[in-house]
Structure 1
């Protein structure tokens, strides 16, 4: 019969066990496991759909890409049936329209979001939130018709003023226009990148504003009160707490708005006058975009023309993906979403 080991002495009948960390296990419960599985499945489905969309575009675009080669990115002309086609002109137009829209939309969105979250009375705040959300729900064709038949004629004077006093900047130069001749035709300022960009900015602003407003409203209450306790004014609190906290949200909202502006179709299609030359002058009549090119040429495209349109769509798809991934990376490294200590 074994004698029990004396306290403090090792048990001679057994080898001493090496110390190792104990594995902790906590049962999260069935609801949490179901939610985790559904979230993972949803994320996987989204990735699969994106992969299938990109694969489909690549498959349909392969004929045109194989025929055009690298010239597809550097050729401005668009004549697939003659073998001369590329997206240099339409991609430049797409980027310029999107940049004009973002430059105008982001300041308006930030100002509106700050007023709604920090200054507006509670009753007015609810009304403004509803109005902004309703603006995001207006169909793009309505914005396009408004821009074509009403807004375009009202903004010609601004375009003429910009070209008169800022024509030393290449973006604001207008070829063939005499700003000192009051009887000069105004058609050189119509159907321009500038007008299309302003209209698209009105479509982008509600989306950007909603995202930024949500981020601003989540700024930590403790840090807000701490800033006031140190003697900060309301603007001082906003500058030292709300804006730094919402930096990631502002960048993410801007990138999301940029993605929307890059893919806008109907409103741009109604306003611009398509030209297939690289047009860097935003005030001058004539521009183009990838989405409007697809809408314009889809119905009459030959097999090679359809493949070329798919190649243009694939390029826009990849550009949008790059923009969104860049936005997610920036937001992940920012402070938005953190909690107060």
Structure 2
């Protein structure tokens, strides 16, 4: 290769790398990004759980014991013992993959009430800054919202920007289960917002799918990883996805251990990077990616999954302008909607923009619904 060819190749590489850094991979558009510290490790309150010997034996370590073994542990307990563990350790039980689903609802209600009380106390604390008191008021209101009658909170962690999972429908009796994994700019405060890009939020997507399926699938809006904020290296690299992938895999394994069917997992934008990295460990029937910057894989076979893989992108989605490359850790690889990737194509002609795939009346929502209820082949 001549010097001129090397220079041209080098320029293309630099241009591609520069363009890749523009990946927003979420729902907030072209805002400047801020590097996030991913939330990892066991649930809050684990130290107290580990020290608990009231059952006359050590409790299974949330960090070392997998969901199937955790499910077996709870099956061996009486209803009274289960309830008392939830009362003593609500933040652990509420986030414990493999624990009985009704018990997790109960534990998270207790954790939310405790956090609401704590946050209200901080909001009245005159020694704190006005900004800190305002944040505490917002958190208290957020907890009160989540405690509203009829809400089913399957996970709640107020640390950092906050994480949550909410269920629509009855997981215990559902013949089909779907999990929605969001992209950037989603956290405890924004996962169910109703004023902007509603169908780009996990709650908006989950509610729309649940309504379109007429209750034939239970749907979980899962915000269980630290998402990127706006534009920046977090969105352009796999760092947060690498931290989130094992959390998603463990969550889905926990659903299965608790007795639910294999879920259909819907992955939006940067969330598809998380799903791609989790795919080999994800007990899913179907993996559906949409508005995706890439899955950090060159083809479906590279995902090492038994799930059927689907991909959607509408013509007006700005994600199409993002270079589908992976260079020096930047970018997320091949375009999953390219025929060479090997995914099944989902129609999305009527979807609009990056956050319109679950909007009522779209062909993408109809297709998603068929996939979720097992009506697509």
TM-score in terms of structure 1 length: 0.23
Select the structure that is richer in strand.
Answer: 2
Name which structure has the greater RCO, CA cutoff 8 Å, separation 6+: 1
Select the structure that is richer in helix.
Answer: 1
TM-score in terms of structure 2 length: 0.22
